[in-house]
Amino acid sequence: MERLKQEYRYVKRKDDDQNYIVLHQGKYSGVVFHYGRITINEEKDQAKLSFDYTVIDDNGYEKGMLETPEFKNVLGDVLVEELDEYFKEQDGHFNESND
């Protein structure tokens, strides 16, 4: 997964303090988005990751292209990489929040 780190980065807009992610390599280069609600559910000794996302800048891609399973898998890969990094920084501990 570490290879993905080269394919995206965090950005901010001038008018707010929200962090966004921009994909800057690959098929969806230039697309800016952020995650909404993220849930991790255990099903039969496996974790299932679910998430919402909002595209902030579609970089000219048709809406339908950014709603495909392929696009969602790219966002899921980014999210998994970020979660892995977070858990490494936290020594494997997870701070649960029910916000």
Looking at the predicted structure, is the pLDDT value of residue 96 above 80? no
Q: Which domain does 49 fall in, by range?
A: 2-89
Q: What Cα–Cα distance (Å) separates residue 34 from each residue in 61, 73, 77?
A: 17, 14, 14
Q: Write down the H helix ranges in 19-68.
A: none
pTM: 0.79
pLDDT one-digit tens code per residue, 6-17: 689 999 888 888
12 found inside a domain: yes
State how many domains the chain has. Answer: 1
d(CA 35, CA 25): 19
Which of the four pLDDT bands, split at 50, 70 and 90, describes residue 88? Answer: confident
99 found inside a domain: no
- Averaged pLDDT of the chain: 85
95 found inside a domain: no
pLDDT one-digit tens code per residue, 37-81: 999 888 888 888 899 999 999 999 998 999 999 999 999 999 988
